[in-house]
A and B are shown apart, each in its own frame.
Chain A
């Protein structure tokens, strides 16, 4: 049943007993082998599985075979393969928990882990596909706190979704789910109800209380993802400014971006603000196409948008992404030919979105960033399947025309500005957009204050809760309960 396929992937760790790459502490290494630097070819151990799956390439093997495969795979392909600690495989209960520690422990200059992205999940769950649709309520949540006292706000509502039809709006605060106090309930039973309502595994109706009001009933529905929204122009004394929201890089984005650029070109815009605050990336070729449509051929001809650099054993796989001037149907892409663009960004702006920033700066297009420091993910994976799991180890780094790609701490904003939940996205009174417009006009960052205050008085720093993936749990009880 299709509906269950979409939603049925939610599987809470509490029920599944682990899985995923989320940092199991099982088998913490108690010793380190002397610096072993050679490993057997991973191909020797590929598909040798403790529990072979029927009708696959799996063959009977052992858990140790699976671990040996992973160690060799990491040695062959991991970007920082020299920095992987030699840990004792037998100390780890599963191949997945062993994989979790096969990564560098290096820190960035700001003290963050260089590799925060190591990950694994079941191949079956990874092999889900779609035609650009989702099945949910149509709410993008911003979470300030996911443990009591919880604080979630509606960041965005998908057009035509059940949430939109029910009148739910950006800025609404979640206060209850199916009669359970969302803010304070820390009981196991209460958390189960919250999870069931927010991340349903079957298509059923749930109640959502917002702003302390009576609950509204919502039923998940199939929603066609709209990746480009609110395309419009803003008049200023220094010319017409184009604006649009761009939320994710998927295949259908190409047509939506072409339409947006055509619309803005027809309006003779001389400057552009793109709202990337919730764009965590996606297809890299879409990022390249958008960068081209912003900058045009005079700025990008024969230039590198992003070069993918693999480790020194895999230099043959280094790959150049040009600025694509044509679309996937070989159609000529429209362009604005700008030398300046403002991008609205937050910690949720990542990967392919950061590639747009870096790619444009690499060809001397001025990119003003308004908002918060971006995520800092100049890396990518080539997923590897083995024995029913798919493993994601960072294999390449992206650099621009100038060879720059060292932004693991993210790109700092030109002007800081808070995500202002009291205004709709695209409203010129919304703090981030207002700041962008002021800065381009005056060259000075305005002093802004948050238009939204939390009752806890905690700093306004929200992270987006993206649609639930499998084997994850977002709402948790208070620690130690």
Chain B
């Protein structure tokens, strides 16, 4: 059966556990501490790599109040102004900001893929 919704926490834990990092290291949900244009650009680029989207629009507040963010295809309209995908089956990507060994990472919790962040600073939530 196809997965019709984003995976819940159990799946996230299993996927994360499948990564090659040592068992002693664990992801801790984190919040962004230095939001700004450069960091936003880094986050957008990382999310684009993780999700395969060509462009990612973020707000300056993303990851400052919550360590998770849904990224989904931007709703688009046809020539009649109607939503093209009115019955959308595509599951949104649940992207988590995590801290691990003092570094910040973005994790696509649908796939378990992760991307390190260089400019972004974060603190454990």
Chain A contact residues, CB within 8 Å of chain B? 2, 5-6, 20-23, 116-117, 119, 121, 123-133, 135, 143, 222, 224, 248-252, 280-285, 308, 319, 321, 324, 326, 328-330, 348, 350-353, 355, 375, 377, 379-383, 392, 398, 463-470, 472-474
CA of A418 to CA of B120, assembled, Å: 51
How many residue pairs bridge A and B at CB < 8 Å? 177
CB pair B71 A130 closer than 8 Å: yes
Contacts of B58 in A (CB 8 A): 2, 130-131, 133
CB interface residues, B 43-57, toward A, < 8 Å: 44, 47, 51-57
CA of A6 to CA of B57, assembled, Å: 7
Given A129-B74, A328-B94, the answer on whether A20 and B79 have CB atoms closer than 8 Å is yes
CB pair B54 A124 closer than 8 Å: yes
CA of A281 to CA of B71, assembled, Å: 18
Contacts of B79 in A (CB 8 A): 20-23, 472-473
- Chain B residue with minimal CB distance to A282? B88
CB interface residues, B 80-110, toward A, < 8 Å: 80-92, 94
- Chain B residue with minimal CB distance to A249? B88
CB pair B40 A466 closer than 8 Å: no
CB pair B78 A469 closer than 8 Å: yes
Contacts of A5 in B (CB 8 A): 55, 57
CB pair A351 B86 closer than 8 Å: yes
- Segment of B4-12, B14-22, B27-35 in the binding face: B4-12
CB pair B5 A285 closer than 8 Å: yes
B125 within 8 A of A: no
B76 within 8 A of A: yes
Contacts of B90 in A (CB 8 A): 283
Contacts of B94 in A (CB 8 A): 328
Interface membership of chain B positions 67-80, coded 1 if the CB is closer than 8 angstroms to chain A and 0 otherwise: 00111111111111
CA of A121 to CA of B54, assembled, Å: 14
CA of A224 to CA of B57, assembled, Å: 11
- Which of B6, B7, B51, B88 counts the most A-chain CB atoms under 10 A from its CB? B88
CB pair B57 A129 closer than 8 Å: yes
CA of A469 to CA of B76, assembled, Å: 6
CB pair B76 A379 closer than 8 Å: no
Partner of A130 from B52, B56, B85, B88 at Cβ < 8 Å: B56
CB pair A284 B88 closer than 8 Å: yes
Contacts of A381 in B (CB 8 A): 84-85, 87
B122: min CB distance to chain A, Å: 17
CA of A377 to CA of B89, assembled, Å: 15
Given A5-B55, A465-B81, the answer on whether A284 and B73 have CB atoms closer than 8 Å is no
CB pair A280 B86 closer than 8 Å: yes
- Chain B residue with minimal CB distance to A471? B79
Given A321-B4, A328-B6, the answer on whether A470 and B76 have CB atoms closer than 8 Å is yes
- Chain A residue with minimal CB distance to B88? A283
Chain B contact residues, CB within 8 Å of chain A? 1-2, 4-10, 40-41, 44, 47, 51-62, 69-92, 94
Contacts of B91 in A (CB 8 A): 285
A141: min CB distance to chain B, Å: 9
CA of A352 to CA of B86, assembled, Å: 6
- Chain B residue with minimal CB distance to A467? B77
CA of A282 to CA of B8, assembled, Å: 20
CB pair B52 A127 closer than 8 Å: yes
CB pair A119 B78 closer than 8 Å: yes
CB pair A284 B89 closer than 8 Å: yes
CA of A383 to CA of B89, assembled, Å: 10
- Chain B residue with minimal CB distance to A321? B4
CB pair B8 A128 closer than 8 Å: no
CB pair B55 A222 closer than 8 Å: no
A253: min CB distance to chain B, Å: 10
CB pair B84 A330 closer than 8 Å: no
CA of A117 to CA of B81, assembled, Å: 11
CB pair B75 A250 closer than 8 Å: yes
CA of A387 to CA of B89, assembled, Å: 23
- Chain A residue with minimal CB distance to B94? A328
A113: min CB distance to chain B, Å: 12
CA of A159 to CA of B103, assembled, Å: 36
B45: min CB distance to chain A, Å: 11
Contacts of A249 in B (CB 8 A): 88
B63: min CB distance to chain A, Å: 9
CB pair A375 B53 closer than 8 Å: no
Partner of A379 from B10, B56, B71, B87 at Cβ < 8 Å: B87
Contacts of B75 in A (CB 8 A): 248, 250, 282
CB pair A472 B57 closer than 8 Å: no
Contacts of B62 in A (CB 8 A): 131
